[in-house]
Amino acid sequence: MSDEAHIVKSYEEELQNLNDSLIKMGSLTESQLADSMEAIIKVDKESADKIIANDAKINELRAKIDNQIMTVLVKRAPMAIDLRITISTLKISHDLERIGDLAKSVAKKIKPLPHDLPKELIGSLRRLGDLVQKQLRNVLDAYLNKSKESAITIWKNDEQVDDLTNTAMNEVADFLGKSKKNLELATHLLFVTKNIERAGDHITNIAESLYYLIEGEYLEGARPKGKDIEKN
Amino acid sequence: MINNKVKIKTTNLNVYYGDKQALNDVNLEIHSKEVTALIGPSGCGKSTYIRCINRMNDVIDICRVTGSIEIDGNEINKKEIDVVSLREKIGMVFQKPNPFPKSIYDNVSYGPNIHGLAENKVKMDEIVETSLKKAALWNEVKDRLNEPGTSLSGGQQQRLCIARAISVNPEVILMDEPCSALDPIATAKIEELMDELKKSYTIVIVTHSMSQAVRVSQRTGFFHLGKLIEVDTTEKIFKNPNNKMTQDYITGRFG
Ligand SMILES: Nc1ncnc2c1ncn2[C@@H]1O[C@H](COP(=O)(O)OP(=O)(O)OP(=O)(O)O)[C@@H](O)[C@H]1O
Ligand SMILES: [Mg+2]
């Protein structure tokens, strides 16, 4: 990091604007993810439409960030920390966009749900959703504070996301095992669970990009994997 | 591709112009058959440094050079060194193209003549042609070899100077901001030429363009106020330099 400002003020502004766009995109993604989790658990079909429509805003921001980055690249030929900021922002914005897409996919599963969720399935799904939301909030905070330690913690915590995903999947499988009538609901819920897990993977990507931005090196070593996750 | 054979090594190199110290204990290894870029703010001693390598500072009366300069392990910072044959091994290209007020042909044949590299006219024609070809200038001048070198465009003049530098088969080519007066096409031609030349020569280039350093060099050294602050692979320097001063300079944050 550098505490010094650029001699060229407009360069400083361009990087600041880029930062602002990313933060805006982050908070939008955060609320989309929160809304979709809330809506799926309550089977709130009205909110679903709103969430689906809102995804366009995230995509717009992504396009804006792409443009801002192209401008910085050609105008400034950024070096060192500026280069890492630019490239990491590009990658992070794409991961945020994907998380937004996954929130939208979750929302899309709400409408065809045949009835409310059985109580026994709500607990795990909520825990998984809460954890992934917490991970996203933390990674956005870590980005704001350029915290290398938080980036590492978030990256490691994906193991818990994998574990909770497994639990949730197993519960849905048990529920399906009880009756063939449960097939439709169970199928939708398996997709939903998988989508949340994938949102978690994008969060770890963001943690990796952030670590690279700060350190100029890649996070080393394999991320710990939740037990049995490979079998799914 | 990083080469580890050291061609030039300076140890505790200090340079003074009168009372003023221009270089301060510079320890730098320049690797063989690579391009090394020297960067840093104006007045930090880049030109002074490369002028040490071919003893060009000798011509400046008030200039005093202490410390060791080795080329292939041989000390050259000592009185007994034959400066003329040293400069045959070490060519130099300056910021402003400076062709002699002579024909294109004579500009290139001048060095080989002095050093007696051609026994006859046929041999000399050959040297002139290959030098101009290596400098990527031959096609543009082959029909006007007797015209004055100064009649060429700036970019062509710079390539003529490069042809002149390589005509004596040097081992090292020193370039002091060779592209600062050139347009992007002429710059691209020189950069392309450097890629080619580094297969046979060791090149040291002083440049104020960080982008150019990234494009042409494998290693980069950053100078500040007469000190070598950091030297590393160019990739390391432009992605993640170790020194904060280096980073502030290359990112345009320097006060
Ligand atoms: N012939 C000279 N007589 C006295 N001082 C000199 C002479 N040449 C250079 N200097 C001084 O030595 C210092 C280093 O100069 P040098 O030309 O090596 O800098 P540089 O890094 O090449 O700068 P630039 O990027 O402007 O070409 C400067 O302070 C300069 O004023
Ligand atoms: Mg200079």
Q: Ligand 1 pocket: which of B15, B20, B228 to mutate (most atoms <8 Å of CB)?
A: B20
**What gap in Å lies between CA A116 and CA A78, rounded to an integer?**
53
Instruction: Give the model's pLDDT for residue A229.
Output: 43
Ion ligand 2 neighbours (CB, 5 A) are: B 47
- Confirm or reject: Cβ of B46 under 6 Å from ligand 1: yes
Question: Which atom of ligand 1 has the smallest separation from the CA of B208?
Answer: 25
**pLDDT at A227 (0 to 100):** 52
B243: Cβ contacts below 8 Å, ≥ 6 apart: B222, B229, B230
Whose atoms come closest to the Cα of B175: which ligand? Answer: 2
> Residue A65: what residue type?
I
* Alpha carbons B153 and B179: distance in angstroms, whole number: 13
Residues from chain B contacting residue A80 (CB–CB below 8 Å) = 237-241, 246-247, 250-251
CA nearest A76 in B: which residue? B251
Q: B196-246, pLDDT tens digit by residue?
A: 899 999 999 999 999 999 999 999 999 999 999 999 999 999 999 999 999
Which residues of chain A lie closer than 8 angstroms to B254, CB-CB?
Answer: 7
Task: Render pLDDT for B74-130 as a digit per residue (tens, 0 to 9).
Answer: 999 999 999 988 998 999 999 889 999 999 999 999 999 998 999 999 999 999 999
Task: Give dist(CA B194, CA A185) in Å, integer.
Answer: 67
In the reported structure, the alpha carbon of residue B102 is separated from the centroid of ligand 2 by a whole-number distance in angstroms of 26
A79 touching chain B per CB within 8 A? yes
pTM for the whole structure: 0.87
Model pLDDT, residue B95? 87
Å from CA of B47 to ligand 2 middle: 4
pLDDT digits (tens, 9 = 90+) for B196-208: 899 999 999 999 9
% of residues, chain B, pLDDT over 90: 85
Tell me if B251 and A7 make a contact (CB, 8 A cut-off): no
**Domains (ranges, CATH) in chain A?**
3-231 (1.20.58.220)
What DSSP letter does each residue of B57-105 carry, written as one string? GGGSTTEEEEEEEEETTEE-SSTTS-HHHHHHHEEEE-SS----SSBHH
Which tops the pLDDT comparison, A222 or B195?
B195
With CB atoms and an 8 Å threshold, state whether A80 touches B255. no
Amino acid at A45: K
Task: State how far residue B185 is from chain A, nearest Cα, in angstroms.
Answer: 18
User: B17 alpha carbon to ligand 1 midpoint, in Å?
Assistant: 9
**How far apart are the C-alpha atoms of A98 and A139, rounded to whole Å?**
15
Query: Which residues does chain A have within 8 Å of residue B213's beta carbon, measured at their own beta carbons?
Result: none
DSSP assignment letter at A116:
P
Structurally, at CATH architecture level, domain B6-95+171-250 sits in 3-Layer(aba) Sandwich (3.40)
Runs of H (alpha helix) within B142-183: 154-166
Minimum Cα–Cα distance from B253: chain A residue: A6
Contacts of A8 in chain B (CB under 8 A): 252
How many whole angstroms from its chain centre is CA B65? 19
Structure confidence at residue A120 (pLDDT): 86
The enclosing H or E element of A58 equals helix A45-76
**How many angstroms is it from B22 CA to the middle of ligand 1?**
7
Q: What's the CA gap between B85 and B28, in Å, rounded?
A: 23
For chain B, the domains span 6-95+171-250
User: Average model confidence (pLDDT) for chain B?
Assistant: 94
What integer pLDDT is reported at residue A112 of this predicted model?
86
CB of residue B168 inside a 6 A radius of ligand 1:
no
**Is A81 in contact with B251 (Cβ distance < 8 A)?**
yes
For residue B80, the one-letter residue type is E
Q: What is the structure's pLDDT at A119?
A: 86
Q: Answer whether B17 contacts ligand 1 (Cβ < 6 A).
A: yes
CB atoms within 10 A of CB B10: 23
- Judge contact between A80 and B251, C-beta under 8 A: yes
Quote the tokens at residue B165.
Answer: 């530098």
CB atoms within 10 A of CB B113: 15
Residue of A nearest to B209 (CA): A77
CA of B98 relative to ligand 2 center, distance in Å:
15
- Show the low-confidence residues of chain A (pLDDT under 70): 1-2, 221-232
Nearest chain B alpha carbon to A6: B253
d(CA A158, CA A151): 11
Residues of B with Cβ-Cβ distance to A81 under 8 angstroms: 247, 251
CB nearest to A83's CB, from B239, B244, B248: B239
Q: How many CB pairs under 8 A join A and B?
A: 47
Pick from A229, A139, A151: nearest CA to A193: A229
